[in-house]
Amino acid sequence: MRMSVIGCGYLGAVHAAAMASIGHDVVGIDVDEGKVAALAAGTAPFFEPRLTELLTDGLASGRLRFSSRMADAAGADVHFLAVGTPQTAGGHAADLRYVDAAVEDLLPHLRPGDVVAGKSTVPVGTAARLAERLVGTGAALVWNPEFLREGWAVHDTLTPDRLVVGAAPDADGDRAVDVLREAYAAAIETGTPFLVTDLATAELVKGAANAFLATKISFINAMAEIAEAAGADVTLLADALGHDGRIGRRYLGSGIGFGGGCLPKDIRAFAARAEELGRGEAVGFLREVDAINLRRRDRAVQLVVDALGGLVFGRRIAVLGAAFKPFSDDIRDSPALDVAVRLRGLGADVVVTDPAAIDNARTAHPQLGYAQERDDALREADAVVIVTEWDEYRRDLSPAHAGGLVRGRIIIDGRNCLDAAAWRAAGWQYHGMGRR
């Protein structure tokens, strides 16, 4: 099948490469010429496991190419929209200008029978509005929200938990759904559920999934606040809750909370859209979810300050992690960097390290100190903060080894990812989030 993928960021580049890897003929389109040049040369413009391998294979097979000209999308049977939908400057709603521009640019290249499949995360009602723009072209619009996790994007694209396709309830909609069914035949054959809905429900599934996941994380972080006040341990609490099959242990990791280019802006946009629909009160709890999440960053900073006896000015603090999560170089709304920036703001001599995100972090926050190697960050540190749970810190860093490098054996575990007993036994003052 011939496909175009419009927008080649974290979502689109992976989608294009994954679709080519299962035999489709794909062109990725992006307005960013630097990104297009990198992708066309087989270089992933961001860190994502397995992406380089897929790009190399796809380009070599001739089934994958990249272009900055929308005209090169012409002739594709399905056009996936994967452009960004960031938070509007100064507001909470989603900024739809990139989606609108992409659709306008695509219109002259559509043929009757083409399918435009929206993958970007958009406020409910967007798809119906865009479908109006397609009237007269003979092309049909479906909404096919994306649920991939950065760090697992290739895996999640090739073997998703489910595929959701929203379409208009008419013959064109039915035919467009069949085109998507063919596009995803490889996953469907291995048992991936393929759920067909109307346009609004498909858009809402994505918003609701993000709202639920964010709520689950903030729920356990709210319990961490209570555990702190009561002298309990939130990690043991989460283990005990997780054994309840109705609750489950996943997404009950307490710590400095969620970040990244999706969850924070998506729950805000979801609440903003609910307000527009006159149902703001139905998701008023999302404001609380957001507030709990942001409070954990304050708490992590406070733990460092307290552990250093209130004196952080001029103290050297090793910050392990910059990416918003491991296996990614994405620093968009990263809680890790937020903590680093705040500590720097208090006058600390902050040295950040990260296996993948240093370059992005340095560009965004040149005022911070950086060390390429973990051990260089640890050397002579008065305190250590783990803010991204990379294996290099969580699994591979022994308290004895770290103890030989630092000046002060103080560790703040912002992700509750370390064995507290082992660190204490090695003479460290260990502080977790919501742990005794």
The verdict on 334 binding ligand NAD (CB under 6 A) reads no
Cβ neighbourhood burial of 359 (10 Å; 0-12, 13-18, 19+):
middle
Question: Which residue's structure tokens are 């954990």?
Answer: 296
Residue nearest ligand NAD, CB atom distance: 9
Q: Exposed, middle or buried: residue 126 (CB in 10 Å: 0-12, 13-18, 19+)?
A: buried
In the bound complex, what is the minimum distance in angstroms from residue 130's beta carbon to ligand NAD? 13
Looking at 210-298, which runs of residues are DSSP E strands? none
| 160 DSSP assignment | -
Shortest distance, position 396 Cβ to ligand NAD, whole Å: 26
CA-based nearest residue to 49, from 162, 176, 146, 155: 155
CA-closest candidate to residue 166, choices 139, 133, 192, 194: 194
Least distance to ligand NAD, CB of residue 30, Å: 4
- According to CB under 6 A, which one of 4, 85, 293, 360 is a site residue for ligand NAD? 85
Q: Is 326 in the site for ligand NAD (CB under 6 A)?
A: no
262 included as an active-site residue: yes
The SS3 call for residue 184 is coil
**With CB under 6 A, what is the number of residues at the site for ligand NAD?**
27
Binding flag, residue 65, ligand NAD (CB under 6 A): no
- What are φ and ψ of residue 359, in 5° steps? -65, -45
Nearer residue to ligand NAD within complex by CB, 150 or 382? 150
Among 44, 131, 262, 289, binds ligand NAD (CB under 6 A): 262
Decide: is 37 part of the binding site for ligand NAD (CB under 6 A): no
Choose the stretch contacting ligand NAD; rule: CB under 6 A; options: 81-89, 222-230, 243-251, 354-362.
Answer: 81-89
DSSP state of 88: P
Contact call for residue 121 and ligand NAD (CB under 6 A): yes
Shortest approach of ligand NAD to residue 148 CB, angstroms?
Answer: 5
Distance between CA atoms of residues 17 and 20, nearest Å: 5
Which residue number, 6 or 183, has a Cβ lying nearer to ligand NAD? 6
90-103: b or e for each residue (b if 16 or more CB lie within 10 Å)? eebbbbbebbeebb
User: Of 268 and 365, which CB lies nearer to ligand NAD in the complex structure?
Assistant: 268
**Contacting ligand NAD (CB under 6 A), which of 259, 261, 355, 432?**
261
Least gap, CB of 276 to ligand NAD (angstroms): 18
CA torsion 220-221-225-226 (nearest 10°) is: -10
Q: What are phi and psi of 89, to 5 degrees?
A: -65, 125
Return the residue of 5, 11, 55, 217 that touches ligand NAD, per CB under 6 A: 11
Nearer to ligand NAD, 35 or 65 (CB): 35
* Contacts for 108 with CB less than 8 Å, ≥ 6 apart: none
Contacting range for ligand NAD; rule: CB under 6 A; set: 1-9, 20-28, 338-346, 413-421: 1-9
CB-side exposure of 121: number of CA atoms within 13 Å?
A: 28
Q: Taking contact as CB under 6 A, which single stretch among the options 19-27, 94-102, 165-173, 194-202 is the one that binds ligand NAD? A: 94-102
Query: Judged by CB under 6 A, does residue 82 bind ligand NAD?
Result: yes
- Chain positions 137 to 176 lying near ligand NAD, rule: CB under 6 A, are 146, 148, 150
How far apart are alpha carbons 81 and 65 in whole angstroms? Answer: 16
| Least distance CB 139 / ligand NAD (angstroms) | 17
Q: CB of residue 311 vs ligand NAD: minimum separation in angstroms?
A: 39
Catalytic residue among 39, 262, 301, 385: 262
How far apart are alpha carbons 368 and 341 in whole angstroms? Answer: 7
What is the distance between the alpha carbons of residues 39 and 8, in angstroms, rounded to a whole number? Answer: 9
Run of H or E residues at 296: helix 285-307
- Of 29, 202, 286, 385, the one binding ligand NAD by CB under 6 A: 29
Q: Of 25, 30, 172, 389, which one interacts with ligand NAD (CB under 6 A)?
A: 30
Binding residue (CB under 6 A) for ligand NAD from 7, 123, 166, 326: 7
Cβ pair 16, 8 in contact under 8 A: yes
Alpha carbon 146 to chain centroid, angstroms:
11
Binding span for ligand NAD by CB under 6 A among 99-107, 193-201, 346-354, 381-389: 99-107
What is the token pair recorded at 227? 């555990």
Within the chain, how many helices (H) and strands (E) appear?
Answer: 18, 14
Gap between the Cα atoms of 61 and 55, Å rounded: 10
- Contact status: 48 vs ligand NAD (CB under 6 A): no
Q: Which of 9, 28, 166, 399 binds ligand NAD (CB under 6 A)?
A: 9
Contact footprint for ligand NAD (CB under 6 A): 6-12, 29-32, 35, 82-85, 98, 101-102, 105, 120-121, 146, 148, 150, 261-262
- Active-site residues, by number, are 262
